[in-house]
Structure 1
Amino acid sequence: MELKAPAKVNWHLAVGRRRPDGYHPIASIFQTCSLNDIIEVEINEGPFSVEVSGLEEYCPKGRSTLDKAANLWHEIMGFDKEIRIQVKKNIPSQAGLGGGSSDAATLLRYLNSLEKHPLDTEHLINIGMKVGCDVPFFIEGCRAALVTGLGEVVRPIEPRTDLQGFILVTEGEKTSTKEAYDALDGRPMIPVLDDLDELERIYRLPVRDWSFRNDFDLVNTKPDIQLLKGERLLLTGSGSCHILLSDRSDIPTGSKLKAMKVYF
């Protein structure tokens, strides 16, 4: 079975104060885009095992989000078959695009569809949270949503379909998600998280009037690119990728900057 796992962007990402359990609450707008990982899943007779190929460049064998999702499904649901997964990785890693989370959510949704009595979305999200905090958005299966809590509270909204632009990938050292969150803990002032209705109101405005922010701008450097009138450059996730909202068909890039055309 061939499955598509879409990338996501964050138009807005506010991060609250670290909780006693070490996690941070957020207020965000997520939206998927036209960039996808391709996942080939083959299910064979058991006993249970999982083998993932295609991610050797990105993580140690057996440590991917797909491995974790498959093992959780075995432990929780008693799934006792062999799972073989081949990944064509198109979404940049450690980029704020949710590639690993999307891969895991896509696999969980597929495995759930094979069950005689599939789980409802709430219970599937509970499993997804054990893999990562972005997984619930992808499990929900919507194209755009207001996301709060640690990422598990997903309120789908009507997506904007008039947006297009580029994912800008900067070559070089990347900041891990943990390092990025640790850096935010040193902020002299932590703003109150945003009202969700207000975020959706802003989302409906022309892009030139957006007043969104990403708190991870604190630990990321913007790419050196000349913006044309009406264009917006926004960080996604905890970085390191930026989204250039633009009607251009292409943009000039150098050896340290890659541009990927996307639609929303």
Structure 2
Amino acid sequence: MNAERLISISNLDFQYGKDLVLTNINLDIHEGDYIGIVGPNGSGKSTLVKLILGILKPSGGCIELFGKDIKDFNDWERIGYVRQKATSFNPGFPATVEEVVGANLYSGRSTPKPGTKKARERVNEVLSIVNMEKFGKRLIGNLSGGQQQRVFIARALINSPQILFLDEPTVGIDADSQRDFYQLLEIFNQEMRITIVMVSHDIGVITQKVGRIVCMGDGKLLCHPNSSRSEISSMLKKVYGNTMDLLIHDH
């Protein structure tokens, strides 16, 4: 049985001022996918994610989320998002872990009302999923980089999303924390059946971890999730140089 199509992007363009940042992007994301979006700096990876999330508005083309045009889509609790930590977080902000996670709780059909006992239970539940339940009363700024990233992931999980977007999630965290982080993502995808889309600059690691690769360059989609292993490897070497030693999983 074919997996449900969660996101459909057709002929997408994005222009910033006079500069055309993305050109004619076509991409489908299905239930159960574990996709890595790779490409050099300035290739449009983060811009594409922000367009899908409605943070930016396209100059042309169409984005459908769960079968609805993005302009008509309101069920944002179905989508989780972990931003680039370095640009989105003030470590001096005087908030506890529980407050950071709970502040992202939507008052939706399938989520508890913020401030209620059920909401507090949900916060504890997602902190437990990322092994941070003992740190709920700690100030977020007093945690290590790896611990903070786990909190941000719990924040993204609070509404039980069907799809999780992560933008350069391993920047600024140590090797051990990165390893634990990828193990968490594998659990989310394989056991919790969360669709994952991750932007990363770490080509050597991400090609080993994800199920499918999207490669971007100069604002264009150079290879898509259905490209063959050899096509992906060839394109990545063109983009990053022939010296790259890539290991791409067949899934």
TM-score class, shorter-chain normalisation, is under 0.3
Q: Name the structure where helix makes up a greater proportion of residues.
A: 2
Q: TM-score, normalised by structure 1?
A: 0.24
Q: TM-score, normalised by structure 2?
A: 0.25
Q: Taking CA–CA contacts closer than 8 Å with sequence separation of 6 or more, which of the two structures ends up with the larger relative contact order? A: 2
